[in-house]
Amino acid sequence: MKGTVLYGPRDIRFEEREDPKIVEPTDAIIRMAVTCVCGSDLWPYRGLQPIDGPTPMGHEYCGVVEEVGSAVRSIKPGQFVIGSFATSDNTCPTCQIGYQSSCTHREFMSHAQAPLLRVPLADGTLVPTPGVPKDDLLPSLLTTSDVLGTGWFAADAANVKPGSTVVVVGDGAVGLLGVLSARQMGAERIIAMSRHEQRQKLAREFGATDIVTERGDEGVARIMDLTHGLGADSVLECVGTQDSMMQAIRSTRKGGYVGYVGVPHGVELNGEELFFSHVHLHGGPAPVRRYLPKLIDLVLNGKINPGKVFDLTLPLDQVAEGYRAMDERRAIKALLRP
């Protein structure tokens, strides 16, 4: 088969690789239905995150099980399955309290921008759908593997409740689906921070009630204007830079919550400012596995349509164009069809 490999900054290749095989008896091999490029793939693509030699890419996946190892019990060949970007046994004490993305046996997935994928800890990691879903549901189902699960965790970690006032920092796929998640959780007011017209439009479709185009101190001042000088109950930080993190903390009301899911790049917090900000901070790699059954259900029942974040669809062998389009912000998120 051919798969996607990053060689260095902006050097992505779709090249011949060995077919994945069962390595551990708890593995499964799946045939990819659809996969995609993630915003987080852009950090190494842009050379902002060092790589250790040629790196197989891709961690968002869904497809049909081809083969399972001898110790796999619940997952069967022929099932359509979705898994998180982080593998989990789903049985250890950390998994049992719902933090599967910090499972003692966690591995971060890669190699998914390919037609075949080995998934470790298949029983704990994968969630089957009832039957094989229709083709038009595939983009939305794929989002549950990471971006929707991550946006949902951001909203959950930020304690979004019916009636909440919510701010979402970041207008990438995760931020946009953070808006959708906050809407599902009953937020009354959702302020999306975005200066990109196309993304503002989608944010409104997903449930944003206000758009703030300013950033930094001006952005915070706008949020204060909109919230009677108090700040928001819940703020979703979906970027991971120093500026976005500070914008999130400073936009939160005293006693409010920041849910941070942007992978931090150079973020440092000042202890004194944090102390007097009086906010709850909760975040990290989203425990997508915890939310998968619920999110799959919402998609299959037509309650949500998160697949709208894919505004570019390409054949898998044109994956390099998917990276380019996202890097140049011509696309929010690129769907890849094997």
Residues in contact with Zn ion by the rule CB under 5 A: 38, 88-89, 92, 95, 103, 146
Q: Residues 6 or more apart from 78 whose CB is under 8 A from it?
A: 64, 65
Nearer CB in complex with Zn ion: 116/147: 147
Nearer CB in complex with Zn ion: 80/85: 85
CB of 130: closest distance to Zn ion in angstroms?
A: 25
Nearer CB in complex with Zn ion: 38/316: 38
Nearer CB in complex with Zn ion: 246/326: 326
Q: Partners of 68 in the beta sheet?
A: 28
Sign of CA dihedral 190, 149, 137, 300: negative
CB of 308: closest distance to Zn ion in angstroms?
A: 17
CB of 40: closest distance to Zn ion in angstroms?
A: 5
Nearer CB in complex with Zn ion: 103/281: 103
CB of 243: closest distance to Zn ion in angstroms?
A: 22
Alpha carbon dihedral 178, 124, 79, 154, in 10-degree steps, equals 0
Nearer CB in complex with Zn ion: 89/237: 89
CB of 249: closest distance to Zn ion in angstroms?
A: 24
CB of 262: closest distance to Zn ion in angstroms?
A: 12
